[in-house]
Amino acid sequence: MKTFRLAPALSLFALALLPLSPDARAAAAGSAVTVQEDATAYTLDNGIVTARVDKGSGDLVSLRYRGTEILATILGPDGLPDLKADPPGANSRGFGPFTDHQYGFWSHDAMGPRDSEPAVARVTIDPKANGGERGEVSVKGISHGRKMGTGPGSNAGGQFVSDIEIRYALGRGDSGVYTYSIFEHQPDYAASSLGEARFCAKLADFFDWMTVGAKWSKPYPKEEPGKHEDKYDFTTVQSENPAFGWSSTTKNVSFWLVNPTVEYLSGGPTKVEFLGHRDTNAVAAPCVLNYWRSSHYGGAVVDVAQGEHWTKVVGPFFLYVNTGRDPQAMFQDAQAQQLKESRKWPYDWVQGVDYPHKDERSTVSGRLVLSDPMTTNARISRLQVGLTHPAYSVPRPAAQNAPSQVDWQTDAKFYEFWVKGDGQGRFSIPNVRAGTYTLHAFADGVLGEFAQADVVVAPGKSVDLGRLTWVPVRRGRQLWDIGVPNRTGGEFFKGDDYAHDGMPLQYAKLFPNDVSYVVGKSDYSRDWYYEQVPHTQDLNGPANGIRGGGGTGRATPYTISFDLPSAPHGKATLRVAFSTAGTRTLDVEVNGRPAGKFERLPTDSAIGRNGILGVWFERELPFDAALLKAGTNTLKLTVPAGLVTAGIIYDYLRLELDESAAPPATTAGL
């Protein structure tokens, strides 16, 4: 077993991290970019950062900031990265190619199977040709129909049939390096499905403070025996946290992953994802993760058919390093840097790939006007508007838990463009690639989603969609509702404190007789537990749900009581918006009689992963209003017995009545 060996410059670590004087800062910012090459790697340097890129895989095997190694790279006797060394405490597997990397890497790297031809390495921007303003290197693996990618998330035999190119770029004065990856499935390649796909940076051991957004900014030291913090406790919405990373409270240095846009990520503005955690193995390296396709919280899909020519550019995004007085100050600086990067997007220096520049992109604008016949003074709050690829179908075996219909929430194959609208419904979506899109919109307080298909965007031509009238779906007069349509269950009891192991077990302790909700009297923030899960009989069982903890429970009913002045007739419709589901069915009874059931619910792992939002969806259950009566009525929702994570987190519930409509012939949930 080998030990970490510091480069000579690190012996004066504290001195190296002192703030630069104005003269020294100006000198560093003015240093020309250089690109050097040896037999195995490229080295990019600008006097502030030095990045070393492996020519065989495209891995970032070293990133030094003012002489200090930022990554968990193991250095050999020559001071260069030793890619075959074992980290302290590791087994003897080695941590080089085909195993676990201890530096920066794309999970789908440029390496094919062991017997494949080597990657093509080249300099794509030569700083000698531009006065030292910018350098860029490329490592490209050509599939020739073979599976590619051998990094974590893949395997030694490759995983995805596609050419894969990885690039790193460094500009004069940059306090970090840019990276991006280009996937291209050629028409003569076989059909292929992409697995977990992300960029990961494993950091040096001195990073001890994790910041993955304002909600999760906390000490996260190396795990001690007997202590455990579940990595699923620290997931968050990707689009709301475009700058995230780790800091060192002892060295006052930070590493940040900065996304200038989220157009190349999956799942739109509600996608929950890992941004960082600390490994639980002996190495315990702090990790920063930029997932663009995963199976978490409903996951996303990249399926490419045989004969299909498909390409996607993931990035460029910025690997930013800074110093400051404390983690909060360094995070604020990273947020400011993210705003600078977003204003520069799309980068004008990206060339030679499918990446339209500013003059080839367009702005799409308009105004959504809410028109709800059942509500006076209807208003739009927290409006989200996006342009996405039209929904499409993919073949899936019945036993596989994956969507056959792919929409913007579960798509990672195509680009998405989202903005927040204002209180008057106005929106302007910049930098949209040419194409044909579906416009989507949703807002707090409005059940459902606006959609307009066939929005055509031409290169460099702005599109004004004008006034768009949004008429929310209504199935009749509203009798009652519970919650707020906002795509999460955060308004329900404990919905603001969900990120802990064992929350399904807490239900049985807090509601031993299950939920009994009285419309007009109960308060959903106090009387409606945010997870309706099987009621455990083992209150002290193991708590970690995603790894099989928590055990099983009996069927759990939520009972809703409400009064009606007279016996209705016609058609009643129970409308339910789900934040996430871990069960396939939900039984419904009205006044003790079966009214139908919601079936074939799409499931995800949000409850088991300590989340509150997976893939949002809405279902309706029409039933004969004659099941209702004058006086007090009950409507019972029952989650079947099973694993305690096989439950539901509601977004919103509403009962509507249309006495002019005929009762439905059947009562199956739609």
Would you say residue 97 has pLDDT above 70? Answer: no
The answer to whether the CB of 529 falls within 8 A of the CB of 647 is no
Confidence (pLDDT) at 228:
61
- Comparison of pLDDT for 564 and 112, the residue scoring more: 564
Residue 335, SS3 per DSSP: helix
Gyration radius (Cα) of the chain, Å: 27
Residue with more model confidence, 537 or 363: 363
Q: Which two tokens stand for residue 395?
A: 């073949």
Widest CA span in the chain: 87
pLDDT digits 0-9 by tens, 506-520: 999 999 999 999 999
Under the banding of pLDDT at 50, 70 and 90, the label for residue 93 is: very low
- The conformation of residue 493, written as its DSSP 8-state character, comes to B
The DSSP result for 482-509, as a single string, is EE--SSS-TTSBTTTS--STTHHHHHHH
Around Cβ 133, how many Cβ atoms within 10 Å? Answer: 15
Model pLDDT for residues 601-619, shown as the tens digit of each residue = 999 989 999 999 999 999 9
What pLDDT score was predicted for residue 149?
A: 81
Which has more pLDDT, 551 or 588?
588
Residue 509 parent element (H or E) = helix 503-510
Strands (E), 173-224: 176-185, 192-193, 197-202, 209-211, 217-219
Does residue 81 contact residue 51 with C-beta atoms inside 8 Å? no
Q: What is the distance between the alpha carbons of residues 518 and 539, in angstroms, rounded to a whole number?
A: 27
Nearest to 97 by CA among 43, 52, 154, 140: 154
pLDDT at 8 over 60: no
Instruction: Tell me what pLDDT residue 287 has.
Output: 93
Give the range among 39-53, 202-216, 310-324 with minimum mean pLDDT.
202-216
* pLDDT at residue 96 in the model: 38
Looking at residue 404, its pLDDT comes to 76
Q: To which H or E segment does residue 442 belong? A: strand 435-444
3-state class (DSSP) for residue 246? strand
- pLDDT value at residue 5: 29
The pLDDT value recorded for residue 118 is 86
* Region of poorest pLDDT, from 279-293, 504-518, 555-569: 279-293
Asked whether the predicted pLDDT for residue 457 surpasses 70, the reply is yes
By residue count, the chain amounts to 670
Of 88, 285, 318, the closest CA to residue 206 belongs to: 285
- Structural tokens at position 401: 């838990």
| Cis? peptide before 346, omega within 30° of 0 | yes
β-partners of residue 500 are none
Please report, for residues 68, 93, 101, 286, the alpha-carbon distance to residue 2 in angstroms, rounded to integers and kept in the order given: 20, 13, 15, 20
Q: Is the pLDDT of residue 21 over 70?
A: no
Of 470, 469, 263, 467, give the one whose Cα is nearest residue 365: 467
Strand partners, 211: 217, 245
Top-confidence residue, 318 or 88: 318
Whole-number Å distance between alpha carbons of 286 and 288: 7
pLDDT on residue 75: 67
> How far apart, in whole angstroms, are the C-alpha atoms of residue 622 and residue 667?
6
Give how far the C-alpha of residue 650 lies from the chain's centroid of Cα atoms, to the nearest Å.
Answer: 20
Mean local confidence (pLDDT), 645-669: 90
Mean pLDDT of 249-274: 96
pLDDT for res 502: 87
Q: Which two tokens stand for residue 370?
A: 């809410």
Instruction: Cite the beta strand spans of 534-592 per DSSP E.
Output: 535-536, 552-554, 556-564, 571-581, 586-590
Mean pLDDT of the chain: 88
List the structure tokens of 556: 């759990």
Q: What is the mean pLDDT of residues 628-638?
A: 98
Cis peptide before 219 (omega within 30 of 0): no
Arithmetic mean of pLDDT, 569-597: 97
The pair of three-digit structure tokens given for residue 45, joined into one six-digit string: 């340097």
